[in-house]
Amino acid sequence: MASRKDGLKKPVNPLREAFGNFRPALITVMIFSVFCNLLLFVGPVYMLQIYDRVLSSRSEGTLIALTVISIFLLLTYAGLDALRSRILVRAGYKFDENLNSSLFRTALGSALAQRSTAPASTLRDMDTVREFWTGSGVITLCDAPFAPVFVAICFLFHPYLGLIALVGAVLLFALALANELSTRDFLKEAGRRSSEASHYATSSMNNVEVIHALGMHRAIHKCWADRHVEALQFQAKASDWAGLIMATTKFIRQSLQIFILGAGAYLAIYGEISPGMMIAASIMMGRALAPVEQSVGQWKSFMGARNSWTRLETLFGEAAQERERTPLPTPKGQLSAEALFVGTGRSSKPILRNIQFEILPGEVLAVIGPSAAGKSTLLRSMVGVWEPMSGVMRLDGSDLRHWDPELLGQHIGYLPQDIELFSGTVAENISRFRSGDDPELAVKAAMMAGAHPLIQQLASGYDTPVGEMGMSLSGGQRQRIGLARAMYGSPSLLVLDEPNAHLDRHGEQVLLAAIKRCKEQATTVVFATHTPNLLASADKILALKDGGVHMFGPTKEVVNELLKPRAVEEGDTQVAGPSQTPATSGQSDGRESPPQVTGNGGRQVAKKPIQATGT
């Protein structure tokens, strides 16, 4: 691999690199194809010798010798043909092996950056390309260059015979080209609409309970059927044209056999060629037209492979190629943001603007604010899910983008707002499907999260299957198992998005105890919440409003600032503090209950907010 002058390695396209490893096998198959096509002369030469020598000489010895030699050569042809197919299959397996890891990672990254919403279809593109390279399509392409050779031999027999073969090859090639031009746009549009329909159906099935409960069967079916029917209409138009061209191809193919036999018979009557040449020319033309005719039949798979290849090229071209990163030391959990702007991949408008804060190892930060303030977006940027448009999110002083994502994930625990478990057992989900790790670590994580008693009550304990997306569990069970997964491996940074959304009073008590245990182990904890029940466990509060930092500082000071306008507005003579608020549900342990702080109804809460950077 060539290196640039600055010492950095030039990024390699994984698709082209995988194909580069496939190329030697393809060259070997092309060499084998040369001998296979040479052995196709066995049939015409045998017929020529039978008609011109054996029948005239009535020599049984010549007949036997020709037959034995021909059978041996045909066996050799069969062996080479089978061998080149096996080479392609093995090379295709190697192609898949070289590419699937990079493709899977790039497809996930593309979906994460919202460049693509269907990574599964991207993986199917790899299958389409591999199946074409390992199937009869490549063999047809390898045989096609020998079609002119067979046509040239027909010309050697007689110019008329060569002309018939040449015209037939040109007509069949023109039909193949017409098939491409007439069906390309239809097939492309059909594929796009079929993909939309499939994606819509998949997303709808994920909400099957809502569809059933709200009686939305007909409405959802109509939305899917409209897309599906549109795809079928374009597919039907393409199939109509393809069927017409295929029928025309068969007609021309059969007519050419009649023409060349008729012309050969006419020339044989007048003694310009021998009867053997007439039969041999017919076979030669058949060999010449076979690759062209096969290409018409293979055109659909060829076009599918070409479109899939183009999409894969685009995917790898858009994706930033991962480079090897120097492993960084285990982080202690210091987290900071510097002039951070974050947005989605589909919009140039940032969701978060000029976010700045810093928390030390072992501190607990609560992120609060009204809906759509950017809380989930900020938490996603903390774990590297969304990259900043500008600015930096740092962990122990290092930009998150300097970390290898796989290594970074071992030091971070993340509980998203929408909890989705993967098909497998409870233990597999908690251990993040790391089969090589100690099984006791999953139990330890569950005990840290307070989920161990809950898991013990399941039918098979830690070996209980959670079902597709964890649907066999309740929302509270999924949330607590998700918390155990986040705490697996004692991460340095624990990020929780609405961790008590599905929890009852007991569940919140368990969650508070889990956060306390993390704090005792010097784990940095960040959580977003709409309710005040968790704020007593926080050292600092970051209040967001309209995508910017509204307040940031110690919990008590921020809460007091947030309560000042409410106290004045209600006519109170004193500033209401945490101890003056009524107890909330879920806090029956006698501790002071923080107030409800969800942006304070959009009112301006302080002229000089505490450390209000970025406002």
> Mean pLDDT across the stretch 567-594?
39
pLDDT band for 71, please (50, 70, 90 cuts).
very high
Do 61 and 143 share a structural domain?
yes
Domain boundary residue, one of 265, 291, 318 = 318
**Once rounded to an integer, what is the mean pLDDT over residues 226-241?**
88
Q: Which two tokens stand for residue 9?
A: 């390695």
What local confidence, expressed as pLDDT, does residue 540 receive?
Answer: 93
Q: How far apart are CA 393 and CA 382, in angstroms?
A: 7
* 540 bridge partner residues: 365, 554
pLDDT higher than 80, residue 524: yes
Mean pLDDT (the chain, rounded): 81
Q: Is residue 117 part of a domain?
A: yes
| Predicted pLDDT at 112 | 67
Neighbouring-strand partners of residue 494: 413, 525
Are 339 and 304 contained in the same domain?
no
Percent over 70 (pLDDT), the chain = 86
3-state secondary structure 464-518: CECCHHHCCCCHHHHHHHHHHHHCCCCCCEEEEECCCCCCCHHHHHHHHHHHHHH
Find out whether 425 and 417 touch, Cβ atoms under 8 Å. no
| pLDDT for the residue 573 | 35
Under the banding of pLDDT at 50, 70 and 90, the label for residue 359 is very high
pLDDT score of 532: 83
Q: Specify whether 171 is located in the same domain as 273.
A: yes
- 12 vs 21, 122, 313, 321, CA distance in Å? 13, 19, 12, 8
- Within the chain, what is the greatest distance between any pair of CA atoms? 129
Query: Do 146 and 246 share a structural domain?
Result: yes
Assess if residue 508 is contained within a domain: no
- Asked whether residue 578 carries a pLDDT value surpassing 50, the answer given is no
462, 603: one domain: no
Which residues, in sequence order, are bridge partners of residue 591? Answer: none
Tokens read off for 590: 């006698």
Average pLDDT over residues 283-309: 80
Q: Are residues 476 and 497 in the same domain?
A: no
- Rounded to an integer, the average pLDDT of 527-542 is 88
**β-pair partners for 495:** 414, 526
CATH number at residue 105: 1.20.1560.10
pLDDT at position 596 over 50? no
Q: How far apart are CA 471 and CA 474, in angstroms?
A: 7
Residue 586 inside a domain? The answer is yes
Give the gyration radius of the chain's Cα atoms. Answer: 36
Say yes or no: 154 and 110 in one domain. Answer: yes
Check residue 120 and give its pLDDT. 62
Torsion from C-alpha of 388, 434, 524, 501, nearest 10 degrees: 80
pLDDT of 336 reads: 92
Closest by CA to 191, choosing from 249, 259, 121, is 121
Count CA atoms within 13 Å of residue 75 on its CB side: 6
Alpha-carbon distance of 253 to 247, in angstroms, equals 10
Which CATH number belongs to the domain containing residue 455 in this structure?
A: 3.40.50.300
pLDDT digits (tens, 9 = 90+) for 113-153: 664 545 567 778 888 888 888 877 788 888 888 888 888 98
pLDDT on residue 4: 42
Question: Is the pLDDT higher at 305 or at 595?
Answer: 305
Which of 445, 433, 536 has the alpha carbon at shortest distance from 489? 445
Higher-scoring residue by pLDDT: 311, 573: 311
Residues 370 and 474 in one domain: no
* pLDDT exceeds cutoff 60 at 588: no
On whether residue 209 sits in a domain, the answer given is yes
Does residue 49 have a pLDDT over 80?
A: yes
Whether 441 and 530 share a structural domain: no
Averaged pLDDT for residues 70-94: 90
Final residue in a domain of this structure, among 490, 513, 542: 490
Angstrom distance (rounded) from CA 44 to CA 503: 81
Task: Point out the least confidently predicted range of 2-11, 356-365, 377-386.
Answer: 2-11
- Give the pLDDT score at 471: 76
Q: DSSP of 413-454, one letter per residue?
A: EEE-SS----SSBHHHHHTTT-TTS-THHHHHHHHHTT-HHH
Lowest mean pLDDT among 164-173, 301-310, 575-584: 575-584
Mean pLDDT, residues 356-365 taken together: 92
Angle between helices 60-112 and 14-39 (to 10 degrees): 170
* Per-residue confidence (pLDDT) for residue 610, from 0 to 100: 39
Domain span holding position 183: 14-318
283-287, 342-346, 577-581: range with lowest mean pLDDT: 577-581
Residue among 592, 571, 575 nearest 583 (CA):
592
Round to the nearest angstrom and report the end-to-end CA distance of the chain: 48
Spatial distance between the Cα atoms of 367 and 602, rounded to a whole number of angstroms: 16
Please choose, from the candidates 224, 272, 27, the residue with its C-alpha nearest in 3D space to the C-alpha of residue 138.
27
Residue 253: pLDDT band by 50, 70, 90 thresholds?
confident
The answer to the question of residue 513 being in a domain is no
Between 364 and 572, the more confident residue is 364
Q: Model confidence over 386-434: pLDDT tens digits?
A: 888 889 999 988 888 888 878 888 899 999 888 888 888 999 999 988 8
| 168 contact partners, CB below 8 Å, separation of at least 6 | 252, 253, 256, 285, 288, 289
Same domain, yes or no: 476 and 574: no
**What confidence tier does 346 reach under pLDDT thresholds 50, 70, 90?**
low
SS3 content of the chain, % helix, strand, coil (to 5): 60, 10, 30
From CA 615, how far away is CA 464, in angstroms rounded? 48
Q: What's the CA gap between 532 and 540, in Å, rounded?
A: 13
Q: Is residue 327 part of a domain?
A: no
Residue 401 and residue 428 share a domain = no
Q: Tell me the per-residue pLDDT of 93-107, one tens digit each, with 9 for 90 and over.
A: 888 888 887 788 777
- Of 118-127, 215-224, 261-270, 527-536, the one with minimum mean pLDDT is 118-127
pLDDT at 321: 56
- Cα(497)–Cα(518) distance, rounded to whole angstroms? 16
**Last residue of one domain, picked from the residues 287, 318, 349:** 318
Confirm whether 458 is domain-assigned.
yes
Is 594 among the domain residues? Answer: yes
Cβ atoms 328, 402 nearer than 8 A: yes
What is the residue type of 203?
Answer: S
Look at the chain and report how many structural domains it folds into. 3
Contact between 164 and 285 under an 8 Å Cβ cutoff? The reply is yes
* 552 to 339, 379, 562, 601, 610: CA distances (angstroms): 15, 16, 11, 18, 6
- The pLDDT confidence band at residue 319, using thresholds 50, 70 and 90, is low
Clarify whether residues 435 and 292 are in a common domain.
no
366 confidence band (pLDDT: 50, 70, 90): very high
